[in-house]
Amino acid sequence: MAVKARRVALLTGAAGFVAWSAVQLGDLGVSWTQAWRMIADLGWRWPLFLGVVWLLGLVVHTTVLTASLPGLSHRRALTLNLSGSAVSNVLPLGGVAGTVLNLGMVRGWGHTGLEFARFVVVSKAWDLIAKLFMPLVAVGALLVATAIPGGHLVLWLLCALACAGIGGLVTAALLGRATPLLRLVAWAERAWIRIRRGGGDPGWNRAATELLDGTDSLVRRRWAELSWGMAGYWGLQGALLWLSFVAIHVYLPWPVILAGLVAERLLTLAAITPGGAGLVEAGTIAVLIALGADPTGALAGVLLYRAFVFVAEIPVGGIATALWLLGRRTA
């Protein structure tokens, strides 16, 4: 009951934050009607083109998944990605449900539970590393373009350095040097016990040690595939965001587009609502407006982009899951 109460509280707080953000956007002069009109006037060619770019990004991302699970084909990797995302984007805190579905798929294809555990750790950790290092790249690009709002440079830089520091710990842990990260986990574990004023050991340190066991040899063998696959995926995601703004005739400097992409990708880690819906959009729009984007244009561009990376994954992932189920039943 306590766990359920915490989940309800998290969802309620997230919904309240989204509602407050919508009111704040209105105060900034955002016109929701105009934003929807900008999207509705696209016709059919732009959505088709954007859909191709989105699918191409998913195909490139399969390189990360096949590198994380030797023996996995690119077609099956795409099925895993789409089906897991479909579940995660429908259910609150649905990442676990998506992982369970993927486990059933992988075991049906002949892989062991241990191989799947390493696959999840390596693929998710590589994605996390990219999300933690890219804020530093974005801040550097904004500095070169002198696009950071006055008086906020130190704050932006400190946040980016903190993210990069954690990313460095995760990278070292994947390469077999897990002691610094495990110390940080142990500190967080002690702090959690102290906050709860006792209680049982949450087991975070033990779980982290078990999950990292054996990942270093896999990463050392496949680091090149993991890296170029993730770089290609981020490049196509950035192209999709840029094209989403071009489609509605909103033209932003590339450092601002990069900052918006980094904010969107980083905020997906806070997947309290299904796929982070509401929270991700609000945070990304806020970053773009802070960097000088037109409020209504920022709203329209982000909504169009998220229509592909979030909304479209639900029906397409549902179809992929249905085809997998049909194939398994036939077999």
Q: What is this structure's pTM?
A: 0.86
Asked, for residue 42, whether it belongs to a domain, the answer is no
pLDDT at residue number 217: 78
Backbone angles phi, psi at 152, to 5 degrees: -115, 5
How many structural domains compose the chain?
1
Mean pLDDT (the chain) is 83
pLDDT at residue number 1: 46
**What are the pLDDT digits (tens) for 153-200?**
788 889 899 999 988 888 887 877 766 666 776 777 677 667 666 555
Asked, for residue 331, whether it belongs to a domain, the answer is no
Question: What separation in angstroms does the CA of 63 have from each of 91, 227, 231, 293?
Answer: 27, 9, 11, 34
Asked, for residue 14, whether it belongs to a domain, the answer is no
Asked, for residue 150, whether it belongs to a domain, the answer is yes
Q: Per-residue pLDDT for 83 more than 60? A: yes
Asked, for residue 283, whether it belongs to a domain, the answer is yes
The domain containing residue 239 runs over which residues? 52-78+90-323
Question: What separation in angstroms does the CA of 130 have from each of 107, 228, 255, 327?
Answer: 28, 11, 17, 34
Asked, for residue 218, whether it belongs to a domain, the answer is yes
Least confident segment among 127-136, 201-210, 220-229, 241-250: 201-210
Asked, for residue 213, whether it belongs to a domain, the answer is yes
pLDDT at residue number 330: 62
Asked, for residue 43, whether it belongs to a domain, the answer is no
**What are the pLDDT digits (tens) for 225-281?**
999 999 999 999 999 999 999 999 999 999 999 999 999 999 988 777 777 778 888
pLDDT at residue number 269: 85
